[in-house]
Chains A and B, each alone.
Chain A
Amino acid sequence: MLLGRTANGLYWMNRYIERAENMARLLDAGLRMALTRTASSAEEWNSVVVSAGCDVAFRNRHPEVSATAVADFLLRDVTNPSSVLASIETARGNARMVRTALTRETWESINEAWMAMRRVLARPVDERDLPSVLDTIKRETAQIRGTFHGTMLRNEIFDFAQLGTFIERADNTARILDVKYYVLLPSIHWVGSSLDNYQWESILRSVSAHRSYRWVYEADYRPTNIAEYLILDARMPRSLAFCYRNLADSLRYLEEAYGIRHACHDTLAATTAKLKGATIKQIFDSGLHEFLTAFIQDNNRLGDEVARSYRFY
């Protein structure tokens, strides 16, 4: 027996933990670019803000794009609901609300992450300290995930939290891919060619896949390979296929445990079929941007249907 409000809290708790981590990854990739490129880095930082999905809000707060402004907006600005500080605050608020559903270890790891992040983000972060701050954020969220997986019973509580994690992650990966391709690919004719460009690495870096990509595809950055890796490769823990395999696991568990199939199950099945049935060539042929836009919409709908089916409100 689980309260709808509790399921909702678990879902958003994990979405925001995931979001905090994704922000740190995005900044990490941006930082890397700024360090390795000789040309103006403003463009790169701009694409970080666009990938984070908050370029409009950013421009309302900052007239110019700079490393300091972007880092501050994505890390510390509480008027930006997706900043690391705002995200961990929301995550912890939800965790407090659903505290009875969490193991003591999980609650404490979230609470400690909140304390640690508030500490390192209490003041504007000096550029020199940025790597260590990002490290802290990634380490804290990894710690939460570790205790969550290591101590939580595998029941509905676990599954509602997992749904939050993977809907957020799929959204994040799809957005990064969409934005970066739009920015990076000058012409569709370049799609199949091998490009020697740090920018490509930055896509992989922002989903922490730059090392593993090389194991799979060797050191050759081809747009099709990168897209295939992030969309279709179910071995890659931040790919859309991986996210949907986990979403399917959780929704199947709920269907079996409750003995009821809802609209969200059909939406999931439809999206999964699109991921399984396609080759990367087909996706490019019919338009990557169109594919990703449709995916993001389906993914959002899945979230809404989960909330309705399980009486989050």
Chain B
Amino acid sequence: MVAFDEMSPDKSGIRRPYFGYDSWLREQDTARLSEKTRDAERVFRKTGITFAVYGEAEAAERLIPFDIVPRIISGQEWRRLTQGIEQRVQALNAFLDDIYHRQEILRAGRVPKELVANNAAFLPEMIGVRPPGGVYTHIIGVDVVRTGEDDFFVLEDNARTPSGVSYMLENRETMLQLFPELFQRVKVRPVEDYPKLLRQSLAAVRPDGVKGTPTIAVLTPGLYNSAYFEHAFLADQMGVELVEGQDLRVVDGHVAMRTTQGYKRIDVLYRRVDDAFLDPLTFNPDSALGVPGIMDVYRAGNITIANAPGTGISDDKAIYSYMPDIVEFYTGRKAILGNIPTWRCSEPGSLKYVQEHLAELVVKEVHGSGGYGMLVGPAATKKEREEFSKKLAARPSNYIAQPTLSLSTCPVLTDAGLAPRHVDLRPFVLVSDRIQIVPGGLTRVALKEGSLVVNSSQGGGTKDTWVLDD
């Protein structure tokens, strides 16, 4: 299976979006490029752009490896991609609104009732609640993979608390520092606006009762969270407070933060804390990360929580397989961006197929993320597959399976020069009274030769993602 290389798909030459970069690259000397890679690493360490890996005490703070070769997308490719993403995000929000109100899609039998009713990500507390501005998922990271010139697929919708946008911004900043001359030669659309757009977007969905400029805050689980750097970064870039649960309490029917001058009301909370920890009175009673009583404030319409509680029901891996139907049901049109064919192991026929073809498939936990608990069939040993097969048989509805896709590759700089590695792409979408997508995203790259796992927790790296101004 030969992967599509986005720079030079065959021996005949370079793809058009890479023309400018390629001509620059030919003038560079390899030793200087390696030196630049080390420069980049120093910049990241210095600024403390790190993430934590769970279960690795030693590596409490690690850098995500950064590759200095940009991933380049033409303006035309980007337009098509964004049309597909916008349509999908509209459908996600419509689906959430429907699921928590009339449930027409269930009545129409397009999505099985039990898939929603028995799903831990479905929050009965949200039934009948209409969030300010009618928006459920405000910030979405849609993972897109490519397999050929015109073949883009959505791998996953991240509609809860997607992370990675700080890397998109810092990667660009680093590239601008390392190769200023390159940006003179190739016209790349800027991504720097993102924090401003995020702030405007959050302000636009403030509660109805708030006149004037709303007070916005970012809620983080704290210093030890793997994405803490990003939480601090976004709060800083937006010029809003970074709060923890211990800073917040409900005062006179509003959520308020403890300041040096007493409690001050918050109107919009961009929370990076999972649903289960949001309100110990409503959800997990042991949570110290959330705010007791915030759900009552929310139901009373006195605070915007972004993303809304309960959005996980829309990006659940079991629901994912129904996304083409969901898009069509709510937008009245065929999905512009396709899904990857998915076997739901809850269906006996599919389970049988998956078990017989484990060596060819990727099997994922329905509720998993970050590349934990999955099986990449072709890369697994016979023993690993046998063990996984037992887990599968014990809880089939906990798994879905997909074909091992031949993800496209982009060149990365290795000790031996440029070499192709598999990549995916996470563009970031903002939803308020409009949908906005900054031209770029997070390109994750599997740094190990031949590897298809791009997750940073599993040894993946990142690249700057360029959308050309053409």
Same complex = yes
Interface residues of chain A, those whose CB is within 8 Å of chain B, are 1-5, 7, 93, 96-97, 99-100, 104, 107-108, 111-112, 115, 156, 160, 254, 258, 260, 310-311
Q: Which of A93, A100, A108, A310 contacts B260 (CB 8 A)?
A: A310
Given A3-B258, A99-B232, are A108 and B264 also a contact pair (CB < 8 Å)?
no
Could you count the A-B residue pairs with CB atoms below 8 Å apart for me: how many are there?
59
What's the minimum C-beta distance from A260 to chain B, rounded to whole angstroms? 8
* 7 A-B pairs with C-beta separation under 8 A: A3-B258, A3-B260, A96-B48, A96-B232, A97-B223, A260-B261, A310-B260
Q: Which of A4, A107, A156, A260 contacts B258 (CB 8 A)?
A: A4
List 19 additional A-B contacts (Cβ < 8 Å) besides A5-B247, A97-B223.
Answer: A1-B261, A3-B260, A4-B260, A5-B244, A7-B260, A96-B223, A96-B232, A99-B232, A99-B242, A100-B235, A100-B236, A100-B241, A112-B46, A115-B45, A254-B260, A258-B260, A310-B260, A311-B259, A311-B260
Provide the bound-state CA to CA distance between A107 and B242, in Å: 16
Q: Which of B243, B244, B257, B260 contacts A156 (CB 8 A)?
A: B260
Q: Which of B9-42 contact A (CB under 8 A)?
A: none
Given A96-B48, A311-B259, are A1 and B264 also a contact pair (CB < 8 Å)?
yes
Q: Which of B226-243 contact A (CB under 8 A)?
A: 228, 232, 235-236, 241-243
Task: Judge whether B262 is part of the interface by a CB distance below 8 angstroms.
Answer: yes
Instruction: Tell me whether A111 and B47 are in contact (CB under 8 A).
Output: yes
Q: Which of A3, A97, A99 contacts B236 (CB 8 A)?
A: A99
A310 cross-chain contacts in B, Cβ below 8 A: 260
Task: Judge whether B76 is part of the interface by a CB distance below 8 angstroms.
Answer: no
Task: Judge whether B83 is part of the interface by a CB distance below 8 angstroms.
Answer: no
Given A3-B259, A7-B260, A93-B223, are A100 and B48 also a contact pair (CB < 8 Å)?
no
What's the minimum C-beta distance from B265 to chain A, rounded to whole angstroms? 11
A112 cross-chain contacts in B, Cβ below 8 A: 46
Instruction: Tell me whether B242 and A108 are in contact (CB under 8 A).
Output: no
Instruction: Tell me whether A100 and B259 are in contact (CB under 8 A).
Output: no
Q: Which of A3, A7, A99, A258 contacts B257 (CB 8 A)?
A: A3
B261 cross-chain contacts in A, Cβ below 8 A: 1, 258, 260
Instruction: Tell me whether A5 and B46 are in contact (CB under 8 A).
Output: no
Provide the bound-state CA to CA distance between A156 and B260, in Å: 9
Q: B252-284: contact bitstring with A at CB < 8 Å (1 yes, 0 no)?
A: 000001111110100000000000000000000
Provide the bound-state CA to CA distance between A52 and B275, in Å: 47
Instruction: Tell me whether A5 and B236 are in contact (CB under 8 A).
Output: no
Instruction: Tell me whether B47 and A104 are in contact (CB under 8 A).
Output: yes
A115 cross-chain contacts in B, Cβ below 8 A: 45
Provide the bound-state CA to CA distance between A111 and B43, in Å: 12
Instruction: Tell me whether B48 and A107 are in contact (CB under 8 A).
Output: yes
Provide the bound-state CA to CA distance between A156 and B261, in Å: 11
Instruction: Tell me whether B262 and A311 are in contact (CB under 8 A).
Output: yes
B264 cross-chain contacts in A, Cβ below 8 A: 1
| Number of chain B residues whose Cβ lies closer than 8 Å to a Cβ of chain A | 23
What's the minimum C-beta distance from A86 to chain B, rounded to whole angstroms? 16
What's the minimum C-beta distance from A257 to chain B, rounded to whole angstroms? 9
Please name the 5 residue pairs, one residue from A and one from B, whose CB atoms are nearest each other, closest first: A310-B260, A100-B236, A99-B232, A4-B258, A2-B260
Closest to A111 in B: B48
What's the minimum C-beta distance from B381 to chain A, rounded to whole angstroms? 38
Provide the bound-state CA to CA distance between A258 and B247, in Å: 20
Q: Which of B401-438 contact A (CB under 8 A)?
A: none
Task: Judge whether B246 is part of the interface by a CB distance below 8 angstroms.
Answer: yes
What's the minimum C-beta distance from B95 to chain A, rounded to whole angstroms? 35
Provide the bound-state CA to CA distance between A160 and B260, in Å: 10
Instruction: Tell me whether B259 and A1 are in contact (CB under 8 A).
Output: yes
Closest to B45 in A: A115
Q: Which of B176-225 contact A (CB under 8 A)?
A: 222-223
A311 cross-chain contacts in B, Cβ below 8 A: 258-260, 262
Given A4-B247, A112-B46, are A100 and B262 also a contact pair (CB < 8 Å)?
no
Q: Which of B315-343 contact A (CB under 8 A)?
A: none
What's the minimum C-beta distance from B72 to chain A, rounded to whole angstroms? 29
Residue with the greatest number of chain B CB neighbours at <10 A, chosen from A1, A2, A3:
A3
A1 cross-chain contacts in B, Cβ below 8 A: 241, 259, 261, 264
Q: Which of B45, B48, B228, B258 contacts A5 (CB 8 A)?
A: B258
What's the minimum C-beta distance from B412 to chain A, rounded to whole angstroms? 26
Closest to A108 in B: B46
Closest to B248 in A: A3
Instruction: Tell me whether B46 and A100 are in contact (CB under 8 A).
Output: no
Closest to A93 in B: B223
What's the minimum C-beta distance from A91 to chain B, rounded to whole angstroms? 13
What's the minimum C-beta distance from A263 to chain B, rounded to whole angstroms? 15
Instruction: Tell me whether A3 and B46 are in contact (CB under 8 A).
Output: no
Closest to B237 in A: A100
Closest to A254 in B: B260
What's the minimum C-beta distance from A179 to chain B, rounded to whole angstroms? 35
Instruction: Tell me whether B259 and A4 are in contact (CB under 8 A).
Output: yes
Instruction: Tell me whether B258 and A100 are in contact (CB under 8 A).
Output: no
A99 cross-chain contacts in B, Cβ below 8 A: 232, 236, 242
B48 cross-chain contacts in A, Cβ below 8 A: 96, 107-108, 111
Provide the bound-state CA to CA distance between A258 and B264, in Å: 14
Instruction: Tell me whether A108 and B235 are in contact (CB under 8 A).
Output: no
Provide the bound-state CA to CA distance between A108 and B49, in Å: 11
What's the minimum C-beta distance from A10 to chain B, rounded to whole angstroms? 10
Provide the bound-state CA to CA distance between A31 and B36, in Å: 42
Residue with the greatest number of chain A CB neighbours at <10 A, chosen from B46, B241, B243, B261:
B261
Provide the bound-state CA to CA distance between A69 and B244, in Å: 41
Closest to A8 in B: B260
What's the minimum C-beta distance from B263 to chain A, rounded to whole angstroms? 9
Residue with the greatest number of chain B CB neighbours at <10 A, chosen from A2, A7, A97:
A97
What's the minimum C-beta distance from A109 to chain B, rounded to whole angstroms? 10
Closest to B47 in A: A108
Closest to A260 in B: B261
B47 cross-chain contacts in A, Cβ below 8 A: 104, 107-108, 111
Residue with the greatest number of chain A CB neighbours at <10 A, chosen from B223, B228, B242:
B242
A5 cross-chain contacts in B, Cβ below 8 A: 244, 246-247, 258
What's the minimum C-beta distance from A198 to chain B, rounded to whole angstroms? 42
What's the minimum C-beta distance from B43 to chain A, rounded to whole angstroms? 10
Instruction: Tell me whether A3 and B232 are in contact (CB under 8 A).
Output: no
Given A96-B232, A258-B260, A311-B262, are A3 and B243 also a contact pair (CB < 8 Å)?
yes
